[in-house]
């Protein structure tokens, strides 16, 4: 297991703060898991960095959350930092 911090960030659509967090944590040599809802996954295509992996995660779905956490845990064995940046849809707005 790596000593690098493992960061899971939700709501990483391009142009948002989650997207910028991904880049900033990757520059700090963290293992970053950038996530968003399936309909916005194309927004993550520009997050090209060896420290960033992308995955689908809908915070309004318990099943989606469980799958995403299982994915990260299977890859890294831990999650050190969680940043939840849900979009307006997840907030019901």
Q: Could you tell me the mean pLDDT of each successive run of 10 residues in the chain, 93 residues long?
A: 88 87 95 88 81 92 96 97 75 51
CA distances from 24 to 39, 52, 75, 88 (A): 24, 11, 21, 23
* Structural domain contains residue 91: no
For the domain that residue 48 is a member of, what is the CATH number? 3.40.50.720
* Structural domain contains residue 38: yes
Instruction: Give residue 86's pLDDT.
Output: 64
Instruction: Give residue 84's pLDDT.
Output: 92
pTM: 0.87
Instruction: Give residue 45's pLDDT.
Output: 82
* Structural domain contains residue 92: no
Q: How many domains, in total, are found in the chain?
A: 1
73 phi/psi in degrees, rounded to 5: -65, -35
Q: Is 50 exposed, middle or buried (0-12, 13-18, 19+ CB in 10 A)?
A: exposed
E strand map for 1-80 = 6-9, 31-36, 52-56
Instruction: Give residue 25's pLDDT.
Output: 97
Domain residues for the domain of 20 are 6-83
Coil vs helix vs strand at 55 = strand
């Amino acid at each position: 297991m790596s000593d690098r911090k493992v960061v899971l960030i939700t709501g990483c659509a391009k142009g948002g703060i989650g997207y910028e967090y991904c880049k900033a944590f990757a520059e700090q040599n963290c293992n970053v898991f950038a996530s968003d809802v399936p309909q916005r996954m194309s927004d993550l295509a520009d997050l090209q960095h060896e420290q960033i992996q992308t995955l689908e995660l809908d915070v309004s779905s318990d099943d989606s959350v469980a799958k995403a956490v299982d994915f990260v845990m299977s890859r890294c064995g831990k999650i050190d930092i969680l940043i939840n940046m849900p979009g307006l849809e997840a907030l019901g707005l």
